[in-house]
Amino acid sequence: MVPAPAGRGEASDAEIAAAWSAFERNVAEAVRLAGSPFEVTVPVTEGDRAEAIRLAASASDPAAFARAAAADPWCEPARAGVRDRRRDAEAQDGGPPA
């Protein structure tokens, strides 16, 4: 389990990865409903992009990769880290979360 911020519960690696996947699906749906892939759904600055790359480069667990992806949802190393950790967690747990 990965400890959540103070005052909150804990989330497993699989739960963190599943939450990120849900976020990606929801953003894709919002873009589809907006009628244009060029609508800004999550504003990202150059500083956010640099922070995401820095965080992804030093990440070793799903929460760290999720923080990197939250800084820039289009940062492929961060997104790949979330996906890879989800696959790892699912393999250990015997399948995707219910």
DSSP string, 31-68: HHHHT-TTS-SS---HHHHHHHHHHHHH--SHHHHHHH
Residue 12 covered by a domain: no
Position of tokens 């820039």? 72
DSSP assigned state of 94: T
- For the chain, the domain total comes to 1
C-alpha 35/C-alpha 17 separation (Å) is 28
Query: Average pLDDT per run of 10 along the chain, which is 98 residues long?
Result: 54 82 85 74 91 95 89 92 81 65
Query: Residue 35's pLDDT is what?
Result: 75
Residue 95 covered by a domain: yes
Residue 26 covered by a domain: no
pTM metric for this prediction:
0.64
Report which of 6, 20, 4, 39 is spatially closest to residue 85, judged by C-alpha positions.
20
Query: Residue 5's pLDDT is what?
Result: 52
